[in-house]
Chains A and B, each alone.
Chain A
Amino acid sequence: MNDVIQVRGLELAYGKEEVLSGLDFDLPAGSVTGLLGPNGAGKSTLLRVLATELRPDAGTVSVLGLDPRRNARAVRRAIGWVPDRVDLPRWMSIDDHMRFLRPFYPTWDKAEVARLLELFELDPRARIADLSKGQRMLEALVAALAHSPRLLLLDEPFSGLDPFARRRVFDGVLDHLRDAGKSVLVVSHSINDLERCCDRVALLSEGRITTCEDIEGLQRRSARVAVSLDPDAVPWSPPGEPIIEETGADTATLFYLDWSDALAAELANDRAVRDLDLLSRDLEDVLVASVARERTA
């Protein structure tokens, strides 16, 4: 599988504040990948680098085989990019905006524009100034998709969208793109939304990608375990490298990001463990645990 995005050793700082530090990241073609991370981790910065809006201080970046620094216009022409802040000319109508953008993209697809506007129930005659925040985001999404980009970069696309609009984005856009073999990189804090639309997630923390794999595998490799301990065995050192979420006199709740059958057997055979129970966890638990372990490290 070819990677549509390849980032190696990416470094970028805003003044003295280092945002990205030696970031490595690959985005396989045809995947819908969610980019997660705490506030200030550098998610939007990474997308802006990929969208040619920022020039990295160091490292190499390849977008669709192109270097954004040297081929900025070609990259912009090939990707679709919806930033978190959509400042469109307020006086334009939606139709005006589409007509304005059309000459810049040779692969402009009027039929696709009409389909998406109908899907999102947007009136082409409506002025951008009169659109709600969510409608403006949808309008920007239409503009980003109108030229059939091979790669779509979305920064917080679901903010301001009502559940119905969100569902239309999932079903009518992202699934459509996935079926068409297009690649999507989505930044969002809504893990539920990412679980719904993405097949891979990447976790960005402290300026680096700490985790990047498909969601099922990530969830399969993690486990939250509640253990009852023999009071005589306390203090006790658990096997592996769990994140200790909670401890009591003879109980503990552990979160493993590298859970395996061998680790389960080792824990079961530990003489200090009188009982163990596997608790439920979701993608958000995995994200929080991963960030906690990164910060501890």
Chain B
Amino acid sequence: MAHPIKLVRATALVLAVLMLCTHTLVPAARAAMVTTGEALGASAAPDSRARLLALIDRADIQREMTALGVDPAEARARAEALSDEELAQVAGRLEALPAGGSSLGVVLGIGLVVFLVLLVTDILGYTRVFPFVRHPR
């Protein structure tokens, strides 16, 4: 029986080789038309590794969207309508990126402003609203 670590390494190697093979086979199967996006990015880095990464990002970002409640088919349609460049920019960050929703919650924001202003004025000694602020004198 092989050592478990060795087994994992061997499996990883086989998988990596398989991934590379399937990837390098893709262009041949597609008969090598150069897409407009590729032609535009040709000066950048369209090497196979970058394209492999983009391939992985596409699946990852769909999973990420699904995790945030988007229907899987819808997540795929969204990812398909984005360029590799656009996907690379957002991959792994969907949780943090701006999501335009509503300004209705601004009321909460105003409440926080009032709290912070009063806190500052309390600290400066103009007001005495919060008991937890240590006042001078």
A and B assemble together: no
Residues of A within 8 A of B (CB): none
Chain B interface (Cβ within 8 Å of chain A)? none
